[in-house]
Amino acid sequence: MVNTGSTKPQKTALLLAQRIVRDIEQQGLGPGQKLPPERSMMHSYETGRGTLRESLRFLELQGVLTLKPGPGGGPVIQKPTAGNLATTLALVLQFDDARHRVITEARSALEPLMARLAARRATPTRLLELQQTLADMEEGLDDTPAYLDANRRFHQAIAWSSDNSLFGFLLGAIDLTDHTVSVEQPIRRRQSVLRAHHRIYEAIAQGRPEVASEEMTAHMDEDQAWAEKKHPEVREQHITWP
C-alpha cells in the first residue's frame, strides 16, 4: 500500500541520535561518563563516520553530550538543562514574531498552579530553599543583581516544589528568555515584591493550596500592571534568539 500521508522520513543521523540516547538510558549511563570511541561506535551502529559525527553534534546542541577534543577525549554524557530548552523556545518565538508580553501572560497563567501544587507537595528541603531566597532578597534590596537573582530563584524554587519537573524546566527556560524580569525597580517596588513573596511562602509552608494560588495570582497581576505602566516598551520588544 502506498503511503499518502505527509509525514517526512527522518534523517539517518537523527535516527542514530535517538538510538544513542536510548542506549544511554538502557545501559544506565549518566553525566560525566564517556561513550565508546568513534571507531567502536561506527562498528556497533553500522554507520559511517559522517553520519555518526552529525548525530553526536546534534546531541551536543541538545545538551546531551559534550565533545572533548584531543587524546582521551570524545563524547561525554551530560544532563540537558533549562538553558537548552530556552534556546529552542526563544528561536521558535522569534520566528513567530512574538513579543515579551506573551511570556509574562504565560507566567501569569501557570505560576498560580505551580504555587498550588507546591503548597501540597513542597518538602522541608524545598521550604528551606524558599526561605533562603527571601533572606537573600531582603539582604539584597539595595543590590540590583543580588535582588534579581533572589527573585528568580524564588519563582524557580516554587516551580520545582510543585514536584513537576516540566514546570521546573519550563520556568527556568522562561526566566532565561524573559527580559522583563531584569527591568530596574525602585526600592519601594522591591519591598512590595518581597512582601508578596512572603505571603506566597507562608501559604505554601502552611499547606494552603488555594491561598497560595490566590496570592501568586495577585502578585503576577500586580507585576504585570506595574510593568505595563512603567515599562510598556519592554513588554512590546520582540523576543530574539540569544
Name the β-bridge partners of 65. Answer: 77
Name the β-bridge partners of 99. Answer: 238
Residue 1's pLDDT is 42
Pick 204 or 235 by higher pLDDT: 204
Per residue in 24-44, pLDDT (tens digit) is 999 999 999 999 999 999 999
Residue 176's pLDDT is 85
Per residue in 68-91, pLDDT (tens digit) is 887 778 899 999 999 999 999 999
CB 104 within 8 A of CB 224: yes
Average pLDDT in the 148-175 region? Answer: 96
User: Measured between alpha carbons, how far is 200 from 211 in angstroms, rounded to an integer?
Assistant: 8
In the chain the domains, ranked by start, together with CATH numbers, are 12-77 (1.10.10.10), 83-235 (1.20.120.530)
- The pTM assigned to this predicted structure is 0.86
Residue 4's pLDDT is 46
Confidence of residue 181 (pLDDT cuts 50, 70, 90): low
From 59, 112, 82, 38, select the one nearest 178 (Cα to Cα).
82
Per residue in 108-137, pLDDT (tens digit) is 999 999 999 999 999 999 999 999 999 999
Looking at every residue in the chain, the average pLDDT score rounds to 92
